[in-house]
Amino acid sequence: MRTLNLNNTLHKLSFAYIFNFKKDKAFSVSTILSSLALILGISILITVMSVMNGFREQLVDSLSGVNGDITIYDANEDKIEQIKKKNPSISLVQNVQSRVITSNEKGIEGLLMKSLYKEDLYKIPKINQNIFEIEREIDNWVFIGIELAKSLNLKVGMPFQINIPGKSMTILGPVLNSKELIIEGIFNTGVYDFDKYFIFSNIEQINKNINSSVIDIYLNGKDFDYSDLDGVNYSTWEDQNQTLAQALSTEKNVMFVILFFIIIISSFTIISNQIFFIKEKYKDIILLKALGIRQSKICFLFFLNSFFISFFSIILGTCLGLLLSTNIDSVENFLSYLLNFELWNNEIRYLTSMPYSIRLNDIVFIVSISLFSSLIASYIPILRIFKIKPNLILR
Express each pLDDT in 288-330 by its tens digit.
776 667 777 777 777 777 777 788 888 998 999 889 888 887 7
Number of other CB atoms surrounding residue 164 within 10 Å: 17
What confidence category does residue 24 fall into, taking pLDDT thresholds of 50, 70 and 90? very low
Between 7 and 137, residue with greater pLDDT: 137
- Percentage of residues of the chain with pLDDT beyond 70: 78
Q: Mean pLDDT across the stretch 208-228?
A: 77
Cβ atoms of residues 207 and 115 within 8 Å: yes
Distance in angstroms between the alpha carbons of the first and the last residue of the chain: 33
In this prediction, residue 15 has a pLDDT band, given cuts at 50, 70 and 90, of: low
Distance of alpha carbon 196 from alpha carbon 99, whole angstroms: 14
The answer to whether the beta carbons of residues 145 and 195 sit under 8 Å apart is yes
Residue 186 binned pLDDT confidence (cut-offs 50, 70, 90): very high
Residue 104 has a pLDDT of 76
Spatial separation of the C-alpha atoms in residues 149 and 46, rounded to whole Å: 37
The answer to whether residue 391 scores a pLDDT higher than 60 is no
Q: Which residue has the higher pLDDT, 299 or 234?
A: 234
Confidence at residue 251, expressed as pLDDT on a 0 to 100 scale: 74
Hey, what amino acid is at 31?
Answer: T
Q: CB under 8 Å to 212, separation ≥6 — which residues?
A: 96
φ/ψ region of 87 (left if φ > 0, alpha if ψ in -120 to 50, else beta) reads beta
Q: What count of Cα atoms within 13 Å lies in the side-chain half-sphere of residue 365?
A: 11
Q: List phi, psi (to 5°) of 113.
A: -105, 130
- In whole angstroms, give the CA distance from residue 134 to residue 182: 11
8 Å CB contact between 357 and 53 = yes
Please write the tens of the pLDDT for every residue from 152-180.
888 898 999 888 876 666 666 666 778 88
Q: How far is CA 362 from CA 103, 316, 333, 359, 365, in A?
A: 47, 17, 26, 5, 5
**How crowded is residue 308: how many other Cβ atoms within 10 Å of its Cβ?**
15
Q: What percent of the chain has pLDDT over 90?
A: 4
Arithmetic mean of pLDDT, 40-69: 79
pLDDT band at 342 (very low <50, low <70, confident <90, very high): low
This prediction's pTM: 0.61
Give the pLDDT of residue 199: 92
Which amino acid does the sequence have at 283? K
Whole-number pLDDT of residue 179: 86
Buried b (16+ CB within 10 A) or exposed e, 359-389: eeebbeebbeebeebbbebbbebbebbeebe
| Domain ranges (residues) in the chain | 2-60+245-394, 91-218
Pairwise pLDDT comparison (393 vs 75), residue with the higher score:
75
Q: Identify the pLDDT of residue 298.
A: 72
Q: Which residues pair with 217 in a beta bridge?
A: 70, 92
State the average pLDDT for the chain.
77
Using pLDDT thresholds of 50, 70 and 90, give the confidence band for residue 370.
confident
